[in-house]
Amino acid sequence: MRLLKHLFDSNLAWAEQIKQRDPNFFSKLSRQQRPEYLWIGCSDSRVPANEIVNLMPGEIFVHRNIANVVVHTDLNCLSVIQYAVDVLKVKHIIVCGHYGCGGIRAALEGEAHGLIDNWLGHIKDVYRYHQTMIDAIADEQERLNLLCELNVIEQVVNVAQTTVAQNAWRNGQELSVHGWIYSIDDGILKDLDICIAGLDQIPPSCVIKARSYRQEKE
């Protein structure tokens, strides 16, 4: 099938529905976007950012990849974070994982899935950091759930380690990095009670010293 007509029909109906509520919605939105939030979530089709928090187009900037990983050298994710923080001036970065994540399960089980196994190496790292605590849990589902949560926390710290977040804090910009987890079973979000909002809230070893920035400017 060359043309996915049903999706275009669905699109027309959706646009019409929005225009009925607010005739100027799209013309206003086309002039600018000013989202307050950057969402870093899993690619899983059951975890769509806008729908979960019931936000309209224009209200949330989104980056998704398998198992919501923030890799220190991932130019794609770093570019999204940089644009969101420096240009759009988002106030909040939300790393949102989800229970029952297939990526996390694959990393834990260790079975071969192809190229993706390299990406999942980052999750295996998280497992290794916390292996004693995870292996002490008898129930397999609970082990998986815990790794889903620990992965979110790890990625929140990774966001806080970026030069982008650290420069923003150093310049006095308001920026909080949050860790959330979503339950596919009931559609409910949970705050994992990790929020980093300044350089004083991360381990000193993760702070890139200000001196290097001065040198950069010289």
Determine whether 44 is an active site residue: yes
Candidates 37, 39, 44, 202: give the one binding Co ion (CB under 5 A). 44
34 counts as catalytic: no
Q: Is 101 designated active site?
A: yes
Choices 52-60, 96-104, 145-153, 160-168; region in contact with Co ion by CB under 5 A: 96-104
Residues 177-216 contacting Co ion, CB under 5 A: none
Q: Is 206 a catalytic residue?
A: no
Nearer to Co ion among residue 49 and residue 175 (C-beta): 49
- Give the Cβ contact number of residue 95 at 10 Å: 28
CB proximity list for 208: less than 8 A, separation 6 or greater = 161, 163, 166
Q: Going residue by residue from 98 to 137, which x/- string records binding to Co ion, judged by CB under 5 A?
A: ---x------------------------------------
Q: What angle do helix axes 163-170 and 140-160 make, rounded to 10 degrees?
A: 50
Query: 48 vs 57, which CB is nearer to Co ion?
Result: 48
Interatomic CA distance for residues 180 and 190, integer angstroms: 6
Task: Give the C-alpha distances (Å, rounded to integers) separating 35 from 79, 129, 135, 154.
Answer: 16, 34, 40, 25
Q: Which of 63, 98, 105, 122 is catalytic?
A: 98
Is 148 annotated in the active site? no
Closest among 130, 86, 93 to 108, alpha carbons compared: 130
Give the three-class secondary structure for 42.
strand
If the CB atoms of residues 44 and 154 are measured against Co ion, the closer one turns out to be 44
Interaction site with Co ion (CB under 5 A): 42, 44, 101
Residues acting as catalytic residues: 42, 44, 46, 98, 101
